Amino acid sequence: MSAALEEYCGSIFWRPDPDLPICVEQTVLVWLPLAFLWLCAPWHFANLCKKAAKAPLSKLYICKQVVSGLLFLTAIAELALTLAEDYGPSSDSTAQKHPAVLYTNPVLFAVSWIVVMLCQESVRRRPRAVDSGSLFVFWLLQVLCAIFQFQTLLRDALNKVLNEEIADLPRFCLFYISYGLHCPIYDFLSNSLQNPEARATFLSRITFNWFNSMVIKGYKRPLVQEDMWDLNEKDSSQAICQGFEDIMAIELKKARSSLQKKRNKPKTKDGHQNGLAKGVSQDVLVMKKKEKKDSESEYPNSWLVPTIAKTFKGVLLESAFFKLIQDLLSFASPQLLKLMISFTQDKSSQAWTGYLYAVLLLVVAFLQSVILQQYFQRCFILGMKVRTALMAAVYKKALVVSNDSRKESTAGEIVNLMSADAQRFNDVTNFIHLLWSCPLQIALAIAFLWIELGPSVLAGLLVMVLMVPINGWLATKSRGFQMENMKFKDKRMKIVNDILNGIKVLKYYAWESSFEAQVQEIREQELKVMRKFAYLSSVSTFIFSCAPAIVSLATFAVFVSVSPNNILDAEKAFTSISLFNILRFPLAMLPQLISIMVQTAVSKKRLEKFLSGDDLDTMAIARDDSHSKNSFVSLDIKPGRLVAVVGAVGSGKTSLISALLGELHSLKGRINIKNATLKDNVLFGSDVNEERYRSVVEGCALGPDLDLLPGRDQTEIGEKGINLSGGQKQRVSLARAVYSSADVYLLDDPLSAVDSHVGKHLFERVIGPKGLLKDKTRILVTHGISFLPYVDEIVVLVNGVVSEVGSYDGLRASKGAFSEFLETYGKDESSNIDMLPEGLEPQADGSPEDIVSSTLKRENSLRHSQRHNITEHDKKGQRLIEKEAMETGRVKFSVYLQYLRSMGWCLVTWSFLFYFIQNVAIIGQNLWLSDWTDDSVKYFNTTYPNHIRDTRIGVFGALGVAQGFLVFLGTILLADGSISASRSLHTSLLSNILKVPMVFFDTTPSGRIVNRFAKDIFTVDEMIPMSFRSWILCLLGVLGTLFVICLATPIFTAVVVPMAVIYYFVQRFYVATSRQLRRLDSVSRSPIYSHFGETVSGLSVIRAYGHQQRFLKQNEDTIDQNLKSVYPWIVSNRWLAMRLESLGNLVVFFSALFAVISRDSLNSGLVGLSISYALNVTQTLNWLVRMTSELETNIVAVERVREYAEIKNEAPWITTNRPPDDWPTDGNINFENYKVRYRPELELILHGITCDIQSTEKIGIVGRTGAGKSSLTNCLFRIIEASEGQILVDGIDISTLGLHDLRSRLTIIPQDPVLFSGTLRMNLDPFEKSSDEEIWTVLELAHLKDYVRGLPTGLQHVVSEGGENLSVGQRQLLCLARALLRKSRILILDEATAAVDLETDDLIQNTIRTEFSHCTVLTIAHRLNTILDSSRVMVLDSGKIVEFDSPSVLLNNKQGHFYAMAKDAGIRGGETIFAFLF
């Protein structure tokens, strides 16, 4: 071969010398880059054949083509020169012809430059391509390979004496011209667009240089959301979800059919139950279904993983390819180390080989870094995409899930699916390739070890095999704990959700401590499981810390014991040690991988169960109940008619509406108000038509309300509409329905929560025969009798069955159920309704005078006037929900201290000490090994004494086992510490959240608080302990490595300082950016959950309006906002790793270089030790910064928890001044010059109220909007504190009492009947103070005894989230039962009967009259008729009492406020009779 090449070149081919012969330079070094180009060319040519849109001709492209053209000309010129010299007119025919190489090379080059030009054209045709990686590599190879010829020619030229001419001047010139043309071509950086990645060049992409601008910006100032770049199109949630959903549909279909086959019998529908009412039978059915489902796991499974794999197969395959290359490259370093050690042992070898090995170590390490980072980048992007796809899928499912499936998972559980379970999948996809990569690395390592140590390696292998079953056992155990843990997490989040939704009621009833105890009990169980899990992890940590030491011990011991000729020398020992180091990673990762897989398997089941649940059947109208469905369908409702549906509580009116909701538009009684402006809530995504909008606003009587709101219709409405009164919410919902312009309207009692005159206005202008909807079909469920004469048809429901249908007069005459109904409730109702007198406009509704409205009206104006940069939009609208506060800059050191303090200083110190001694043991073990290898020199050609051999093995083994025990102890102590930290942080957060004033909940979206309890506590529980432990181990590892290298080659200390400086700066740059990106991630994640919460609570409304698409789009946008900070965070990690690994690679290079320089003074054992340590440092350095950042990022959770744990509390629950046990005995209430303002800087809202209310008096409180009715009751409960004056109850000043002493002695029946998930008994008596007999007594008084008796579980009947499995009337009656149970002398009714029908209203009023006759009762009224039998009526106006007397006196005062209000409501005063209109 070499003879042929020598003939081809005309010179010698090879000699062992660093200066390569010219023949090699002209053949191998020319062919190498060209071969690479030709291999890649077909892929480029394939692109040329496609018809694609060409990019416009850029200067860069023209420049590249011109340079390639010039290079082509130099090749032609060279060929012409050779031809001319051999065959030209001036050639010498006798002279020897040029060798073949001078003909073939120019031809090869000429063709190659044409190929390059075509390749560059193909790149231009590729959409969004900037440059080509393959071309870049070709140019780079070309330049590097030509360097050898460059220096050969240059040296020859310089060696010639000045008067001698250069041998071959034309070729000399042509070479340097072409070399000059090579250089600039690959270094063109293109201009960056908004997201620089899209326009980044190949070099910039592999080194992540395009990210520099973000890092620099993040270092100069904290990043904000506006700094985030737009997402690449392929990374946006819409692009991700589309593909995922298509494949999911196919896979789910397959899974369903295989499940069907498994059952071997067709799926039967459950027999229909009779009765539309939300009755017992249905609940039993659901419970039975649930048990059956859980026991047989009857849902399609094993479809989620294939879906993910098929959706993202491109990224998966790419990352697998990179991982494979990287794994193979990692085995090159130990082989180079082996050569390096043999070089230091053999003093006769030439110095240049040592330098060559050092450079090769650097090149291999650099290639490894580049490939590893590309692999990680793809894996993390994949994780991000999987999380996004799952979150969007869960959200979409929640929009269409059937009610049966929905009952199985609460909102809290679904939020957990979106946060914790999707995150688990994100984590596992980062490491998915290790499933095949770990076994591959283990196999390769064993193969190389066999080459080094022969069959002795089997001893080590046996130890590893023995660890597999131990590992398996640990994994199954931990899986059980994980399942348990998730169960407790869900349970805890469910109660926390309940607490946040019913916080006002908890405060009114002073029930906080009961609910706190419930949460704490679950939390303790959760922590118990976490402790077991942590101890189990410590055992596995122990096993895997010992693993490498035991494996190497077994191998070396067997190796030296088998034969006296086997002596452990440095070459064998350190090559083996670096191979064992490679083994350490897959061995340590396998158990982690198994536990991650275990946790993900749990999440997979949960997600599969939820995502494969039944969808809402839009084709069926009513599924529950065949009988009433048929009764209803047999009704002939003609288009454009107004049909009223009436019936008693629980007769199935609302269920009927729900049943019809399959395909009709409706306004539900459960109002859904979003956190947006009032106008947006009305438009609800429809296009704006100002004229129609105005007429709708006017028709729905919203005009006067707009005048009161600070920003008119641009006012921001809080979550769930907290700053609107019940009536305003109803009217906004009605306005939304009217604006949507449907053909059919289902109106579920929209007139209940509004004042009577407003109700009339709405009926006249909107619903009635002359209203805006007069041409539409309207089905109106109503409790008001006064409107019935004006409807076209009345449907009467009794127990879920239609009993009568007909006109008002017809039904009255027929003397059926309707006529009885009228007899009972219509005695006082006038059958002829006076329409509103002309000119009398409805008044604006009283918005709840609680903290919010006032904060809105006054404080916002203050805050806005203080701001200078007020945008136009902000002036128009008022912000209620402030943007979430976000810490910026470095995490304060006090946060770390607080965490360490919560862990316990003693535990922290001891665990650190154990870790430190463990590190000393590692270094000791390696130094011992280095010393051991010197024996091979000492006992060369003599027998190795057995006692020395045994000592060597014994000490080596003892140090190995010691490491394991020390790590085990350190880990156990840290686990105990982290659990006590978790306990104290959660306790302080929970107890503080329950003690903060009501205003906090009104202005903070619940999603934000839930995020603290879900994501942040999850971080404190699981992430921080892990990153803290890793950080300590990494720090000690890095210090140990540097110590060993400096010990071996002291000259290395000179390099340590500059590298430490670079390291510090890179780390600071990175941490500043990364930390802020993580904070942005946290903050942009809250809106995902808030939006989700709003969606779940308003699901029926969204479905009724068919607005699922709009909400899906909004969800996508919210997720995209989050991805904008997640994506740069992923890249920032790669940016850092690339720079740090380069630093680590330099450590390797310098340790090798110094070993070469000082090889005469070093023994081979220390060289091996120092380089094998250096090879390990790259990863440890990288992990150290990663862990520093991870710790700083995760510790933000402690900061966020602490923020909510330090909010200022309301007054103490219990003080030293305790009232007597039977207080209040009489129930006298005295207000003395009582003044209130919400904040010290705001105006008063109650101006010196003074009045005496005697024992057992019944007081009605009325007043127009903003008069201060609700504020008065809030003051009694001290929801708002007095700024002057006092309230005395039975002579005791309430401001001197603890809040619980006060609130537990008063009783309120609030406007919204709030129930909590749990049993019925818990809802009545959470402290379990009352006996069952007492509870049955109050249930009887509240007319619920028969209902509860009928339930299979009686008092233990489980109330679903928000009390959804009870009707509104039943919920209100339960609230009445609560009040009866408290036996308090003072009762406050806050419009308690606004939302119930007349029958329930009657029941409640009668019970109150009889059971509370001995109590002082304060009633805040919307409907004046409810307070006409009061002892006295208090009329409030602008925070002052304007009238306070008996109703008859007030009605006779024709100039009075009360008379005017009664007149508005159509109540006329007389001697004895009041004819109520409503």
The DSSP string of 400-443 is HB-HHHHHHS-HHHHHHIIIIIHHHHHHHHHTTTHHHHHHHHHH
pLDDT for residue 946 is more than 70: yes
Residue 662 near residue 621 (C-beta atoms within 8 A):
yes
The model's confidence at residue 191, banded by pLDDT at 50, 70 and 90, is: very low
In 65-209, which ranges are E strands?
A: none
pTM over 0.75: no
pLDDT for residue 1248 is more than 60: yes
Q: pLDDT tens-digit profile of 1166-1175?
A: 888 888 777 7
Q: What pLDDT score does 311 carry? A: 92
Q: What pLDDT score does 265 carry? A: 60
Q: pLDDT tens-digit profile of 659-709?
A: 666 534 444 444 557 677 888 888 887 788 888 888 888 888 888 778 777
The model's confidence at residue 1015, banded by pLDDT at 50, 70 and 90, is: confident
Q: Give CA–CA dist 1059/1067, Å, rounded.
A: 12
**80-94, 145-159, 868-882, 994-1008: least confidently modelled range:** 868-882
The DSSP string of 803-868 is EEEE-HHHHHHTTSHHHHHHHHH-TTS-SSPPPPPTT-PPPPP---TTHHHHIIIIIHHHHHHH-S
**799-803, 1395-1399, 1403-1407, 1466-1470: least confidently modelled range:** 1466-1470
pLDDT for residue 120 is more than 80: yes
Residue reference for tokens 């019936």? 647
pLDDT for residue 910 is more than 90: yes
Q: CA dihedral in degrees (1017, 1023, 1027, 1029; nearest 10)?
A: 80
pLDDT for residue 653 is more than 80: no
Q: What pLDDT score does 91 carry? A: 65
Q: What pLDDT score does 658 carry? A: 67
Q: Give CA–CA dist 321/325, Å, rounded.
A: 6
pLDDT for residue 1476 is more than 70: no
The DSSP string of 1237-1287 is -SSTTSPPSEEEEEEEE-TT-EEEEEESTTSSHHHHHHHHTTSS-EEEEEE
* Percent of the chain predicted with pLDDT > 70: 86
The model's confidence at residue 885, banded by pLDDT at 50, 70 and 90, is: low
Q: pLDDT tens-digit profile of 460-485?
A: 888 877 877 787 788 788 888 888 88
Q: What pLDDT score does 307 carry? A: 92
pLDDT for residue 294 is more than 50: no
In terms of average pLDDT, the best of 123-127, 235-239, 466-470, 977-981 is 977-981
Q: Give CA–CA dist 658/661, Å, rounded.
A: 5
Task: Count, in order, helices (H) and strands (E) of the chain.
Answer: 56, 18
Q: What pLDDT score does 310 carry? A: 92
Region 1319-1339: what's the mean pLDDT? 89
Q: Give CA–CA dist 1251/1234, Å, rounded.
A: 9
Mean pLDDT of the chain: 80
- Residue 264's Cβ-count burial label (10 Å; 0-12, 13-18, 19+) is exposed
**CA 1264 to centroid of chain Cα atoms:** 45
Region 479-504: what's the mean pLDDT? 88
Q: Please tell me the number of Cα atoms within 13 Å of 177 on its side-chain side.
A: 16
CA nearest 395: which of 1113, 1029, 1221? Answer: 1113
Q: Give CA–CA dist 649/1133, Å, rounded.
A: 61
pLDDT for residue 893 is more than 60: yes
In the numeric block, which tokens belong to residue 861? Answer: 């104006």
Q: Give CA–CA dist 31/108, Å, rounded.
A: 9
Q: pLDDT tens-digit profile of 529-567?
A: 999 998 888 888 788 777 777 888 888 889 888 877 777
The model's confidence at residue 60, banded by pLDDT at 50, 70 and 90, is: confident
Q: What pLDDT score does 1434 carry? A: 92
Residue 172 near residue 150 (C-beta atoms within 8 A):
no
670 backbone dihedrals φ, ψ, rounded to 5°: -75, 105
Q: What pLDDT score does 269 carry? A: 44
* Percent of the chain predicted with pLDDT > 90: 11
Q: Amino acid identity, residue 818?
A: F
pLDDT for residue 869 is more than 50: no
